Amino acid sequence: MKRVDDFRLRFPGKGSKQEFVPIMIGGMGVDISTAELALEAARLGGIGHISDAMVQTVSDRRFKTRHVKDKLQQYKYNVTNTEKAEVQFDLGRLAEATLMHIGKTMEAKRGDGLIFVNCMEKLTMNGARETLRVRLNSALDAGIDGITLSAGLHLGSFALMQDHPRFRDAKLGIIVSSARALQLFLRKNARLDRLPDYVIVEGPLAGGHLGFGLEDWMKYDLATLVGEVLAYLKSEHLDIPVIAAGGIFTGSDAVNFMELGAAGVQVATRFTVTRECGLPDKVKQEYFKAREEDIEVNGTSPTGYPMRMLKGSPGIGDGIRPNCEAYGYLLDDKGHCAYIDAYNREVALHPDAKKITVMDKTCLCTQMRNFDVWTCGQTTYRLKDTTRKAADGSYELLSAEHVFRDYQYSTDNKILLPA
């Protein structure tokens, strides 16, 4: 019986002799996949992701910088204004925060694995192209091993990095949810003569935002999607490692995908209840306690993508005033965000209310920053089976090493409980 450790992940091209345990820990935005978590994956010979979502906030938390306070101070006059077009990111400070978050993480790296950064296109930051250019190039400047493009088609993202000296050396990959999306990406980038080093195929059971419709995500399944992407790459004679993601809960699940032809797996949900994960301990207990009926895919994210979360997330319905002067990561190029519209509508409908409820959209920046949107994978309800329960009803947190090794060595769909 095979186990994940019988396989190794190699990237074609330069440095292709280097081998990795074929386990990637996925990026989990606003510091849920912390540097500590990613560093453990790298130490154990796999690949860990940090995320650059709300990087200025993350920098303030990690390094006591003042990006958010200063931005709020600068735009304080605009807080009650419904128009947010003026609230721009300072590109120098964006670069500074990115360099610090990624640079310090890379300095701390030990072991034979790699650290990648997850970069979501949907963080349009009131200036999509220029902010993305700074994020990508600063990540390369900071010495990141690789960049995973996510939450968007990223048709122009490679071109934004093409003049960087590390453009052909760093590992660059993309998350897709269909062979069609990959085909579009490859066509659009053909003139750059630079293929992605890996493709993550993310199915409908993943956490975070989904690349499927709100009504039809359940019609898709990961094995079929992976098969379609593999067939497409074969038909084009392209040698790009395919990484399967979404709902892979045991080492045996992972082996099944590798026997299908995947080069590795990306996993996240099982690491949400590790000590290294950035969620507060109280929230980790909510993830452990979750039952299947407590998990939903809804349309509350202002990005327009469906998002999976626990129904009990405090951020759902919370009608706080938009906080774009401090954050503003989801403002489009015209300074709009779907939450602002939903909030203004409710204020107009209830002019005398002290507290507003907004059910259809959530202020994702603030709620993710405060860990009040509990996004999770569909398998979250199984987390309680991965640990021990104490007499007081609480669940024992796990170490990232324990979960990583369980994926690496388990067989027969077994899950190793902590000692």
Give me the residues that bind ligand FMN (CB under 6 A), please. 26-29, 32, 51, 53, 118, 120, 150-151, 175, 202, 205-208, 245-248, 266-269, 272, 375-377, 379
Rounded CA-CA distance 92/268 in Å is 32
For 142-160, the three-class secondary structure string (H helix, E strand, C coil) is CCCCEEEEECCCCCCHHHH
Smallest distance from the beta carbon of 230 to ligand FMN, in angstroms?
18
Chain residue whose CB lies nearest ligand FMN: 26
Q: HSE on the CB side for 237, CA within 13 Å?
A: 0
If you write DSSP's letter for every residue of 339-352 in order, what string do you get? HHHHHHHHHHH-TT
Smallest distance from the beta carbon of 321 to ligand FMN, in angstroms?
24
**Which is closer to ligand FMN, CB of 131 or CB of 272?**
272
**Which is closer to ligand FMN, CB of 43 or CB of 308?**
308
Smallest distance from the beta carbon of 53 to ligand FMN, in angstroms?
5
In 142-247, where does DSSP find H-type helix?
Answer: 157-161, 179-189, 222-235
Residue with the two structure tokens 């606003």: 30
Residue with the two structure tokens 């603030």: 366
**Which is closer to ligand FMN, CB of 33 or CB of 65?**
33
Please give the DSSP secondary-structure letter assigned to residue 398. Answer: B
**Which is closer to ligand FMN, CB of 72 or CB of 201?**
201
Smallest distance from the beta carbon of 269 to ligand FMN, in angstroms?
3
Smallest distance from the beta carbon of 337 to ligand FMN, in angstroms?
17
Q: From its phi and psi, is residue 193 left (phi > 0), alpha (psi between -120 and 50) or beta?
A: left
**Which is closer to ligand FMN, CB of 50 or CB of 72?**
50
Rounded CA-CA distance 132/123 in Å is 8
**Which is closer to ligand FMN, CB of 138 or CB of 150?**
150
Smallest distance from the beta carbon of 365 to ligand FMN, in angstroms?
13
Smallest distance from the beta carbon of 378 to ligand FMN, in angstroms?
7
Rounded CA-CA distance 176/302 in Å is 20
Rounded CA-CA distance 243/229 in Å is 10
**Which is closer to ligand FMN, CB of 73 or CB of 224?**
224
Whose CA is closest to 24, among 233, 198, 226, 224?
Answer: 198
